[in-house]
Amino acid sequence: MAIFKGAGVAIVTPMNEDLSVNYDKFAEIIDEQIANGTDAIIVCGTTGEAATLSHEEHLDCIRFAVKHVNKRVPVIAGTGSNCTETAIYLSTEAEKAGADALLLVSPYYNKATQKGLVEHFADTANSVKIPCILYNVPSRTGCNILPKTAVKIAELCSNVVAIKEASGNLSQVAELAALSKGRLDIYSGNDDQVLPVLSLGGIGVISVLSNVAPKQTHDMVMEFLNGNVKEATKLQLDAIDLIGSLFCEVNPIPVKVAMNLMGKNVGPLRKPLCQMEEANELRLKKSLENYGLL
Protein backbone atom coordinates (compact mmCIF):
# COMPACT_ATOMS: atom_id res chain seq x y z
CA MET A 1 0.00 0.00 0.00
CA ALA A 2 1.39 3.41 -1.00
CA ILE A 3 2.47 5.84 1.71
CA PHE A 4 0.40 8.44 -0.14
CA LYS A 5 -0.93 9.21 -3.59
CA GLY A 6 -1.16 12.79 -4.82
CA ALA A 7 0.88 15.80 -3.74
CA GLY A 8 3.07 15.86 -0.67
CA VAL A 9 4.47 19.23 0.32
CA ALA A 10 8.18 19.56 0.97
CA ILE A 11 7.31 22.08 3.64
CA VAL A 12 9.43 25.08 4.57
CA THR A 13 10.67 25.57 8.13
CA PRO A 14 9.40 28.98 9.30
CA MET A 15 11.91 31.08 11.20
CA ASN A 16 11.66 33.94 13.65
CA GLU A 17 13.80 37.02 13.01
CA ASP A 18 16.44 35.61 15.38
CA LEU A 19 16.54 32.49 13.14
CA SER A 20 14.95 30.21 15.72
CA VAL A 21 12.17 27.93 14.46
CA ASN A 22 8.76 29.62 14.54
CA TYR A 23 6.52 26.80 15.73
CA ASP A 24 3.35 28.91 15.84
CA LYS A 25 3.77 29.68 12.15
CA PHE A 26 4.73 26.06 11.47
CA ALA A 27 1.38 24.94 12.89
CA GLU A 28 -0.43 27.53 10.81
CA ILE A 29 1.09 26.52 7.49
CA ILE A 30 0.62 22.80 8.23
CA ASP A 31 -3.09 23.43 8.86
CA GLU A 32 -3.38 25.47 5.67
CA GLN A 33 -1.74 22.71 3.65
CA ILE A 34 -4.09 20.03 4.97
CA ALA A 35 -7.15 22.26 4.49
CA ASN A 36 -6.20 22.70 0.84
CA GLY A 37 -5.88 19.02 0.04
CA THR A 38 -2.20 18.27 0.50
CA ASP A 39 -1.80 14.51 0.79
CA ALA A 40 1.36 14.32 2.96
CA ILE A 41 3.67 16.60 4.93
CA ILE A 42 7.38 16.11 4.25
CA VAL A 43 9.28 17.78 7.07
CA CYS A 44 13.02 18.56 7.30
CA GLY A 45 13.82 18.02 3.66
CA THR A 46 15.85 20.30 1.41
CA THR A 47 13.04 22.87 1.36
CA GLY A 48 12.89 22.71 5.15
CA GLU A 49 16.53 23.87 5.41
CA ALA A 50 17.49 20.63 7.13
CA ALA A 51 21.15 21.21 6.26
CA THR A 52 21.28 24.17 8.67
CA LEU A 53 19.26 22.65 11.51
CA SER A 54 21.07 21.15 14.47
CA HIS A 55 20.19 17.53 15.22
CA GLU A 56 18.10 18.72 18.16
CA GLU A 57 16.19 21.24 16.04
CA HIS A 58 15.77 18.67 13.28
CA LEU A 59 14.18 16.15 15.61
CA ASP A 60 12.11 18.80 17.40
CA CYS A 61 10.62 19.84 14.03
CA ILE A 62 9.74 16.23 13.26
CA ARG A 63 8.18 15.71 16.69
CA PHE A 64 6.20 18.92 16.37
CA ALA A 65 4.90 18.05 12.89
CA VAL A 66 3.87 14.55 13.96
CA LYS A 67 2.03 15.85 17.00
CA HIS A 68 0.34 18.73 15.21
CA VAL A 69 -0.72 16.78 12.13
CA ASN A 70 -2.16 14.16 14.48
CA LYS A 71 -2.65 11.49 11.79
CA ARG A 72 -4.69 13.75 9.48
CA VAL A 73 -2.21 12.94 6.67
CA PRO A 74 1.07 11.02 6.65
CA VAL A 75 4.14 12.80 8.03
CA ILE A 76 7.32 11.87 6.20
CA ALA A 77 10.53 12.85 7.96
CA GLY A 78 13.69 13.74 6.08
CA THR A 79 16.42 11.84 7.92
CA GLY A 80 19.09 11.24 5.28
CA SER A 81 22.71 12.21 5.78
CA ASN A 82 26.13 11.86 4.20
CA CYS A 83 27.10 9.93 7.33
CA THR A 84 25.43 6.55 7.69
CA GLU A 85 25.57 6.64 11.50
CA THR A 86 23.86 10.04 11.51
CA ALA A 87 21.18 8.81 9.11
CA ILE A 88 20.52 5.84 11.38
CA TYR A 89 20.34 8.07 14.47
CA LEU A 90 17.91 10.55 12.88
CA SER A 91 15.84 7.75 11.38
CA THR A 92 15.44 5.78 14.61
CA GLU A 93 14.55 8.95 16.52
CA ALA A 94 12.00 9.94 13.86
CA GLU A 95 10.44 6.50 14.13
CA LYS A 96 10.21 6.92 17.91
CA ALA A 97 8.57 10.31 17.34
CA GLY A 98 5.80 8.67 15.33
CA ALA A 99 6.73 9.59 11.76
CA ASP A 100 4.77 7.58 9.21
CA ALA A 101 7.70 7.22 6.82
CA LEU A 102 11.22 8.47 6.12
CA LEU A 103 12.76 10.32 3.18
CA LEU A 104 16.39 9.28 2.76
CA VAL A 105 18.54 11.48 0.53
CA SER A 106 21.63 9.95 -1.03
CA PRO A 107 24.94 10.86 0.66
CA TYR A 108 26.16 14.28 -0.43
CA TYR A 109 29.68 15.73 -0.71
CA ASN A 110 31.49 12.47 0.05
CA LYS A 111 29.05 10.81 -2.38
CA ALA A 112 29.35 7.00 -2.70
CA THR A 113 29.85 4.25 -5.21
CA GLN A 114 26.75 2.29 -6.21
CA LYS A 115 27.94 -0.47 -3.84
CA GLY A 116 28.32 2.12 -1.10
CA LEU A 117 24.79 3.40 -1.76
CA VAL A 118 23.38 -0.09 -1.35
CA GLU A 119 25.19 -0.55 1.97
CA HIS A 120 24.31 2.96 3.22
CA PHE A 121 20.60 2.69 2.46
CA ALA A 122 20.35 -0.91 3.62
CA ASP A 123 21.98 -0.10 6.97
CA THR A 124 19.68 2.89 7.43
CA ALA A 125 16.44 1.23 6.34
CA ASN A 126 17.15 -1.90 8.37
CA SER A 127 17.51 0.22 11.52
CA VAL A 128 13.78 1.04 11.43
CA LYS A 129 10.48 -0.69 10.69
CA ILE A 130 8.57 2.18 9.06
CA PRO A 131 8.50 2.70 5.26
CA CYS A 132 11.39 4.50 3.58
CA ILE A 133 11.52 6.63 0.43
CA LEU A 134 14.85 6.92 -1.36
CA TYR A 135 15.62 10.46 -2.57
CA ASN A 136 17.63 10.80 -5.75
CA VAL A 137 18.72 14.38 -6.45
CA PRO A 138 22.15 14.24 -8.11
CA SER A 139 22.22 17.97 -8.91
CA ARG A 140 22.51 18.61 -5.15
CA THR A 141 24.36 15.54 -3.96
CA GLY A 142 26.71 14.80 -6.86
CA CYS A 143 25.59 11.19 -6.64
CA ASN A 144 23.07 9.39 -8.87
CA ILE A 145 21.11 6.37 -7.59
CA LEU A 146 21.01 4.24 -10.72
CA PRO A 147 17.76 2.34 -11.39
CA LYS A 148 19.32 -1.08 -10.85
CA THR A 149 20.77 0.16 -7.55
CA ALA A 150 17.40 1.42 -6.35
CA VAL A 151 15.80 -1.90 -7.21
CA LYS A 152 18.56 -3.82 -5.42
CA ILE A 153 18.06 -1.75 -2.28
CA ALA A 154 14.32 -2.43 -2.40
CA GLU A 155 14.99 -6.16 -2.81
CA LEU A 156 17.25 -6.13 0.26
CA CYS A 157 14.96 -3.97 2.41
CA SER A 158 11.24 -4.72 2.45
CA ASN A 159 10.49 -1.30 3.97
CA VAL A 160 12.12 0.61 1.10
CA VAL A 161 8.91 1.11 -0.83
CA ALA A 162 9.32 4.28 -2.90
CA ILE A 163 11.70 6.75 -4.50
CA LYS A 164 11.56 10.50 -4.98
CA GLU A 165 13.11 10.92 -8.43
CA ALA A 166 14.63 14.36 -8.98
CA SER A 167 17.32 13.47 -11.49
CA GLY A 168 15.42 15.32 -14.19
CA ASN A 169 16.21 12.41 -16.51
CA LEU A 170 12.93 10.94 -17.77
CA SER A 171 14.77 8.12 -19.51
CA GLN A 172 16.13 7.09 -16.12
CA VAL A 173 12.63 7.26 -14.62
CA ALA A 174 11.35 5.02 -17.41
CA GLU A 175 14.15 2.53 -16.82
CA LEU A 176 13.45 2.57 -13.09
CA ALA A 177 9.74 1.92 -13.67
CA ALA A 178 10.55 -0.95 -16.04
CA LEU A 179 13.07 -2.59 -13.71
CA SER A 180 11.11 -2.18 -10.49
CA LYS A 181 7.91 -3.69 -11.91
CA GLY A 182 5.83 -1.87 -9.30
CA ARG A 183 8.12 -2.77 -6.39
CA LEU A 184 8.93 0.93 -5.89
CA ASP A 185 6.35 3.70 -5.92
CA ILE A 186 7.74 6.64 -7.87
CA TYR A 187 7.21 10.27 -6.84
CA SER A 188 8.32 13.15 -9.01
CA GLY A 189 10.87 15.33 -7.28
CA ASN A 190 10.56 18.07 -9.90
CA ASP A 191 7.44 20.22 -10.10
CA ASP A 192 7.90 20.80 -13.84
CA GLN A 193 7.88 17.05 -14.54
CA VAL A 194 4.90 15.86 -12.54
CA LEU A 195 2.81 14.70 -15.48
CA PRO A 196 5.68 13.05 -17.38
CA VAL A 197 6.55 11.03 -14.27
CA LEU A 198 2.90 10.13 -13.68
CA SER A 199 2.65 8.97 -17.30
CA LEU A 200 5.48 6.49 -16.59
CA GLY A 201 3.61 5.03 -13.63
CA GLY A 202 4.38 7.53 -10.89
CA ILE A 203 1.79 8.08 -8.16
CA GLY A 204 2.51 11.61 -7.01
CA VAL A 205 4.93 14.43 -6.35
CA ILE A 206 6.93 15.67 -3.39
CA SER A 207 6.54 19.32 -4.17
CA VAL A 208 7.98 22.76 -3.54
CA LEU A 209 5.13 24.36 -5.51
CA SER A 210 2.67 22.98 -2.96
CA ASN A 211 3.94 25.51 -0.41
CA VAL A 212 2.27 28.30 -2.40
CA ALA A 213 -0.33 26.38 -4.43
CA PRO A 214 -1.37 23.29 -2.47
CA LYS A 215 -4.81 22.79 -4.00
CA GLN A 216 -3.60 23.22 -7.57
CA THR A 217 -0.72 20.78 -7.06
CA HIS A 218 -2.98 18.18 -5.46
CA ASP A 219 -5.55 18.60 -8.22
CA MET A 220 -2.89 18.26 -10.93
CA VAL A 221 -1.97 14.81 -9.70
CA MET A 222 -5.44 13.58 -8.86
CA GLU A 223 -6.95 14.71 -12.17
CA PHE A 224 -4.31 12.64 -13.95
CA LEU A 225 -4.77 9.60 -11.71
CA ASN A 226 -8.53 9.86 -12.23
CA GLY A 227 -8.10 9.82 -16.00
CA ASN A 228 -8.67 13.53 -16.66
CA VAL A 229 -5.43 13.99 -18.57
CA LYS A 230 -6.50 17.16 -20.40
CA GLU A 231 -7.32 18.99 -17.16
CA ALA A 232 -4.17 17.70 -15.47
CA THR A 233 -2.08 18.89 -18.40
CA LYS A 234 -3.62 22.35 -18.18
CA LEU A 235 -2.81 22.55 -14.49
CA GLN A 236 0.81 21.49 -15.17
CA LEU A 237 1.29 23.99 -17.98
CA ASP A 238 -0.43 26.82 -16.14
CA ALA A 239 2.14 26.41 -13.34
CA ILE A 240 5.27 26.22 -15.51
CA ASP A 241 6.14 29.91 -15.34
CA LEU A 242 5.72 30.00 -11.56
CA ILE A 243 7.72 26.80 -11.15
CA GLY A 244 10.53 28.34 -13.18
CA SER A 245 10.56 31.36 -10.89
CA LEU A 246 10.52 29.16 -7.79
CA PHE A 247 13.76 27.60 -9.03
CA CYS A 248 15.48 30.64 -10.55
CA GLU A 249 17.72 30.60 -7.47
CA VAL A 250 18.59 27.67 -5.27
CA ASN A 251 15.65 26.17 -3.37
CA PRO A 252 14.30 27.15 -0.84
CA ILE A 253 15.27 30.80 -1.34
CA PRO A 254 12.52 31.64 -3.85
CA VAL A 255 9.72 29.71 -2.14
CA LYS A 256 10.33 31.40 1.20
CA VAL A 257 10.41 34.79 -0.51
CA ALA A 258 7.21 33.87 -2.36
CA MET A 259 5.44 32.92 0.86
CA ASN A 260 6.53 36.16 2.48
CA LEU A 261 5.28 38.13 -0.54
CA MET A 262 1.96 36.32 -0.11
CA GLY A 263 1.79 37.49 3.52
CA LYS A 264 2.49 34.10 5.06
CA ASN A 265 5.43 35.51 7.05
CA VAL A 266 7.63 32.42 7.19
CA GLY A 267 10.66 34.51 8.07
CA PRO A 268 14.27 34.65 6.91
CA LEU A 269 16.66 32.01 5.59
CA ARG A 270 19.65 30.61 7.39
CA LYS A 271 23.01 31.28 5.77
CA PRO A 272 24.56 30.40 3.40
CA LEU A 273 21.12 30.91 1.84
CA CYS A 274 20.52 34.62 1.36
CA GLN A 275 18.00 37.13 0.06
CA MET A 276 17.19 36.88 -3.64
CA GLU A 277 18.73 39.12 -6.26
CA GLU A 278 16.36 42.01 -6.95
CA ALA A 279 15.74 41.06 -10.58
CA ASN A 280 14.85 37.49 -9.60
CA GLU A 281 12.51 38.69 -6.87
CA LEU A 282 10.72 40.91 -9.39
CA ARG A 283 10.40 37.92 -11.72
CA LEU A 284 8.99 35.82 -8.88
CA LYS A 285 6.49 38.52 -7.91
CA LYS A 286 5.25 38.79 -11.49
CA SER A 287 4.86 35.01 -11.72
CA LEU A 288 2.84 34.96 -8.50
CA GLU A 289 0.63 37.75 -9.85
CA ASN A 290 0.12 35.97 -13.18
CA TYR A 291 -0.81 32.76 -11.36
CA GLY A 292 -3.34 34.63 -9.21
CA LEU A 293 -1.54 34.32 -5.89
CA LEU A 294 -0.94 38.04 -5.40
Residue 284, CA atoms < 13 Å, CB-side half-sphere: 26
**Cβ–Cβ under 8 Å, residues 187 and 133:** yes
> Quick check: 284 and 248 in contact, CB under 8 A?
yes
CA distances from 46 to 28, 52, 82, 263 (A): 20, 10, 14, 22
Residue of 25, 152, 164, 264 marked catalytic: 164
Distance CA 163, CA 102 (A): 11
Q: What is the DSSP annotation of 160-227?
A: EEEEEE-S--HHHHHHHHHHHTTSSEEEES-GGGHHHHHHTT--EEEESGGGT-HHHHHHHHHHHHTT
Catalytic residue of the set 71, 89, 115, 135: 135
Question: Does the active-site annotation cover 164?
Answer: yes
Residue 116: left if φ>0, alpha if ψ -120 to 50, beta else—which one?
Answer: alpha
Active site residue 135: yes
User: Which three-class secondary structure state does DSSP give residue 204?
Assistant: strand
What residues act catalytically? 135, 164
